[in-house]
Structure 1
Amino acid sequence: MIIWLNGPFGGGKTTTAAELDALLPEVVVFDPEKIGEAIVPALSAVETVRDFQDWRPWRELVVAALASVDRYTGRTIVAPQTVVVEQYWDEITAGLDAAGVEVRAFTLDCTPDEHERRIANDHVTNATIEEIKIHDGGVGWRRHRAPDYRAALPWLRTRTEVIDTTALRPVEVAREIATRAALTEPVT
């Protein structure tokens, strides 16, 4: 099974994935962003895109990699990755379904003010200008993409389980996901 963590860029998906990893020793964390980082050198010379998710090979490789890791490990895989383009989400989930891989998707939502607080307090804020350029990320990227996430939220509500993380610590979010996905007993 894939536990897909969606949500705003810089909203706490990676931190929650780490908490799930600590909480549940049988999970494997697989970050689809690493596939994007791997294909940027090859595909950026072929076509300029706003986001590596715009390259069809990224979506195909994510499906292939997750299905392969699922078969190989037999473990629950946690995939922290924002996807705000409905067509891309449909391609990924259809591909995983065709591969026989169950997906439980959670959107880790928070208020815009809380999202801004998280962006401002994230360690990426302290990255050098070169690191931000190389990774096309950082504070500016997260703020720039916030409207895309907000625009996608209506369809995300119909395809994922939305958890309001505004007032929750990452460990609490991880426990909620583990409980909802029946990976652990409810914590009292």
Structure 2
Amino acid sequence: MTSATGTATVGIVIIWLNGTHGAGKTTTSRLLQPLVPQSRIFDAEKVGEVLMDIEPALPETGNFQHWPPWRPLVAETARRVLDYVGGTLIIPMTVLIEQYWQEIAADLGRHEITVHHFVLHADETTLRHRIDDDAEMGPSAFRHDHVRPYIEAARSWLHDQAVVIDTAAKPADAVAREIAERLPRSSPDSAGA
């Protein structure tokens, strides 16, 4: 259910859209943002890009998420943005290593930031077709390389720690509406509190 204006109502929180490449995180975040009042999209990948620009370069890891500063910097950046503007941050970011997710979630929890964690799921065949057919990025070996780790994470921990939304047969706008409908609603008395 949405509010009278057709938008979801949430407090100061983070909506984390997880899942691997091709699941629809970026598209869904763009469609979700207008449905959530006072929300902004925060691309946590940009934190990794900042770290990649350090010269001389940080030790090679093959993935900026492996750099220990990335996780606390993502949490701290999100916290500072929320402290500054309030509202809700929508973070479309793949995190497939449980320890990394726990570090980020713990940092946010220490600041009493509620995180609504959603995993956008699709079967392997659908994911690989989406990666190959991506009009913006084109086929990507990097993105294909993350499909199997996603399947393993989904099986071992990820689906147990989030609300899973199957995106294989749903258009992105329907996925965004489903996420908005699953968010807690603030009471009329708490609006503006």
Q: TM over 0.5, yes or no?
A: yes
Quote the offset at 1:43 in angstroms. Answer: 6.9
1:100 corresponding residue in structure 2: 112
Corresponding letter in the other structure for 1:166: A
TM-score using structure 2 length = 0.85
Kindly provide the CA deviation profile for residues 28-77 of structure 1, in whole angstroms up to 9, marking residues without a partner as x: 10010011111102177230102100001111100100111111121111
Give unpaired runs (5+ residues) of structure 2: 1-12, 187-193
Q: Whose helix fraction is larger, Structure 1's or Structure 2's?
A: 1
SS at structure 2 position matched to 1:79: strand
C-alpha distance in 2, partners of 1:141/1:153? 19
Quote the offset at 1:27 in angstroms. Answer: 1.0
Q: Is the 8 A contact 1:5 1:105 kept in 2?
A: yes
TM-score using structure 1 length = 0.87
Q: 1:146 to 1:49 in 2, by over 3 A?
A: same
- The counterpart of 1:158, out of the listed 157, 160, 172, is 160
Among all aligned residue pairs of Structure 1 and Structure 2, give the percentage whose two residues are the same amino acid. Answer: 40
SS at structure 2 position matched to 1:66: helix
Give unpaired runs (5+ residues) of structure 1: 126-137
Q: 1:44 to 1:63 in 2, by over 3 A?
A: farther
- The counterpart of 1:58, out of the listed 63, 67, 70, is 70
- The counterpart of 1:76, out of the listed 65, 81, 88, is 88
Q: Is the 8 A contact 2:37 2:87 kept in 1?
A: no
Q: What count of residue pairs does the alignment treat as equivalent?
A: 172
SS at structure 2 position matched to 1:5: strand
Which aligned pairs between 1:129-140 and structure 2 lie closer than 5 A? 139-140=140-141
- Determine which structure has more spread, i.e. the larger CA radius of gyration: 2
Quote the offset at 1:26 in angstroms. Answer: 2.1
Q: Is the 8 A contact 1:84 1:152 kept in 2?
A: yes
RMSD: 1.6
2:6 corresponding residue in structure 1: none
